[in-house]
Amino acid sequence: MPELPEVEIVRRFLEKSTLNQKITKITVFNQKSLDADLSKIIGQKIIKFSRQGKQLSAHLSNKLILLFHLKMTGQLIYVPLSSKGEARREGDFVFGHPTKDMLTSSLPNKSTRVVFCFSPLVKEGTQGGILYFNDQRKFGWIKLFSQKDLTEFQSGLGVDLLDDEFTFLYFQNQISPTSRPIKSVLLDQSKFAGIGNIYANDALFLAGIHPSAPSNQISLSRLKKLHRSLLQIINESISHGGSTAKDQKYLRPDGTSGTHQFHFYVYQKAGKPCPNCQTPVQRIKLSSRGTFFCPRCQKL
Ligand SMILES: [Zn+2]
């Protein structure tokens, strides 16, 4: 499942490739994936992208906002037009969700739910292209909002980790009053927008905190370390292009995989040696999510 770093990579990529290009055509293969009045989108340009946690906003020139949530298996794949106006070029590396014809890597494929066409702006030298919203499991969605409605829609979301408001004081105020297991609190999107299972596991490992530890019993110094570890791990992942876990569901918009999965500390490493002390990493279930930790470095 794409988390904050993966959505941030998508945001940065799309900002480079689709900004100020006009949306000329939209094809919706699955109504629930984009349920909006298309006439309010077609003809508009995207003038800005922003992100709150795992939600990506494309701000349109008519001040409406297209909000994307990739959920479990959503992908945004961008294929630029060639100089001849064709969407596929020899040597392009664009995969969608693995299918039997994956080697031909043709898009749209059977997981493609929505297609946006962008026209080239000859004057400004932009290229034009096609943006595919693929979503195997169909939990993802795209919605159209006014700024006012979007603010209301996102009012329940906590502070984004890359926001200046993610201070240690904010962090401590969310964690310290509750006796819930620390990992469950980290995953609570109403407190922190964008932390998912991968980064919660690895940040707790870096801070030496057991995932089940009651939040109100964690020492101040460990809590400070956890705040730093979260920022460290999110920034490491962004610099690695995000994590493409074993399921291959997350891809960058050019169809390539992220590489942070080669830098996981304990996530998905059950039975493998702890990077600090070589003790085998353990896996438990916590709030029905796979939870990984070193029983020696992260004592309860
Ligand atoms: Zn260890």
Domain at 4-153, CATH class = alpha beta
Q: Give the residue, 244 or 103, on which the prediction is more confident.
A: 244
Domain positions in the chain: 4-153, 159-293
pLDDT digits (tens, 9 = 90+) for 36-69: 999 999 999 999 999 999 999 999 999 999 999 9
pLDDT of amino acid 65: 98
166 C-alpha vs ligand 1 centroid, how far in Å?
28
Task: Count Cβ atoms below 10 Å from residue 176 Cβ, excluding itself.
Answer: 14
pLDDT of amino acid 249: 81
- Distance, in Å, from the CA atom of 60 to the CA atom of 19, rounded to the nearest integer, reads 10
195 C-alpha vs ligand 1 centroid, how far in Å?
23
**pLDDT grade for 82, boundaries at 50, 70 and 90:** low
Contacts of residue 192, defined as CB under 8 A and 6 or more positions apart, other chains included, come to 53, 158, 159, 161, 166, 174, 186
Do the beta carbons of residue 57 and residue 49 sit within 8 Å?
Answer: yes
Residues with active-site annotation: 2-3, 54, 289
284 C-alpha vs ligand 1 centroid, how far in Å?
16
Contacts of residue 111, defined as CB under 8 A and 6 or more positions apart, other chains included, come to 73, 75, 96, 97, 99, 134, 135, 136
48 C-alpha vs ligand 1 centroid, how far in Å?
44
Highest mean pLDDT among 20-24, 127-131, 138-142, 255-259 belongs to 138-142
277 C-alpha vs ligand 1 centroid, how far in Å?
4
159-293: same fold as 4-153? no
pLDDT of amino acid 104: 42
Average pLDDT over residues 269-291: 97
273 C-alpha vs ligand 1 centroid, how far in Å?
8
Domain spanning 159-293: CATH 3.50.50.60: no
Average pLDDT over residues 149-160: 97
Query: Who surrounds ion ligand 1 at CB < 5 A?
Result: 274, 276-277, 279, 294, 296-297
Confidence check: pLDDT of 102 > 80: no
Instruction: Work out whether strand 159-160 and strand 192-193 pair parallel, antiparallel, or are unpaired.
Output: parallel
pLDDT of amino acid 136: 92
pLDDT of amino acid 98: 56
Least confident range of 34-38, 85-89, 189-193, 213-217:
85-89
292 C-alpha vs ligand 1 centroid, how far in Å?
11
Instruction: Specify the DSSP class assigned to residue 39.
Output: G
**pLDDT grade for 119, boundaries at 50, 70 and 90:** confident
